[in-house]
Amino acid sequence: MTIQHHVSDELLMNYAIGTLSESWSLAVATHAALCPVCRDGVLKAEAMGGVFVDEIAPVPMAEGAFNDLLARLDTDDTLLPPTKPNAMFVTGNVPLPEPLRSYLLGDDVIQCTDLPWQRLGLGAYHIPITLSDRSATARLLRIPAGRPVAEHGHGGSELTLVLAGAFHDGSSYFGPGDFQETDETLVHKPRAIADEDCICLAVTDAPLSFSNPIARLIQPFLNV
Ligand SMILES: [Zn+2]
């Protein structure tokens, strides 16, 4: 697994200091379970948080500030807790790491084909994920090979983590383990690659805004 797209510094820091909601944390933690780069970033950010949390002001981080602090931490290993990657389970060809696995399966180990997929239409399926957090919705999405998701904008933010297959979004390619962050400024039409269904975790904090009137018509029935 070669991961090209990682969690942003700001999101990673907020995760580490515990200010993310359950739904956002689910996406970040599941990516970190697959990604040694972000796992290391979380450990360092947690260490930073322990040292600097009282000094963190609630404003956006300056560009480069996160890397500057990481560089400082690299010189003092005593600040870092031991690395302990999350356990990873594989069902079929789909890596299903914690904490996503427990949200989906409980303690049962089942195959990908046995997952309780629900039809979304146009060949797509999803599995809504139950959260205590009502500020966002999370779902496992399965987009059929070669097919697009209908063009849509966002009323808020969307986090997408690819677990299997891949999709193109404009000129960008998102493969297994890749993490995409979008906000209300983006209108896009991601398309699954031709030879494999794309399975991803998607978290949104507002309903999508579809360009296609048919998609808008069925949207209330799909809760997307
Ligand atoms: Zn990463």
Residue 180 phi, psi dihedral angles, 5° rounding: -115, 135
CA of 27 to the centre of ligand 1 (A): 11
Whether residue 79 is contained in a domain is answered as no
Which pLDDT belongs to residue 179?
97
Whether residue 83 is contained in a domain is answered as no
CA of 169 to the centre of ligand 1 (A): 18
Whether residue 174 is contained in a domain is answered as yes
Whether residue 55 is contained in a domain is answered as no
The tokens describing 174, both together, are 């998102």
Whether residue 169 is contained in a domain is answered as yes
CA of 114 to the centre of ligand 1 (A): 28
Whether residue 171 is contained in a domain is answered as yes
**Residues in the 5 Å CB sphere of ion ligand 1:** 6, 35, 37-38
Question: How many domains does one find in the chain?
Answer: 1
List Cα–Cα distances, 135 to 203, 204, 205, in angstroms: 10, 9, 6
The pLDDT tens digits for 7-16 are 999 999 999 9
Whether residue 2 is contained in a domain is answered as no
CATH of the domain at 196: 2.60.120.10
Euclidean distance between CA atoms 184 and 197, whole angstroms: 26
CA of 35 to the centre of ligand 1 (A): 5
Give the lowest-confidence range in 1-5, 75-79, 86-90, 102-106: 75-79
For residue 150, the SS3 value is: coil
Q: Does an H or E element contain 16, and which?
A: helix 9-16
The pLDDT tens digits for 91-116 are 566 778 888 888 887 665 555 566 78
Higher pLDDT, 158 or 184: 158
State which residues form the domain around 179.
110-222
Please calculate the CA angle 161-163-164 and round it to the nearest 5 degrees.
Answer: 135
Q: Tell me which amino acid residue 145 is.
A: A
Contact status, residue 224 vs residue 172, Cβ threshold 8 Å: no
Whether residue 205 is contained in a domain is answered as yes
For residue 167, pLDDT beyond 80: yes
Higher pLDDT, 62 or 121: 121
Per cent of the chain over pLDDT 70 is 64
Please calculate the CA angle 213-149-91 and round it to the nearest 5 degrees.
Answer: 140
Which pLDDT belongs to residue 98?
85
15 φ/ψ sector (left φ>0, alpha ψ -120 to 50, else beta): alpha
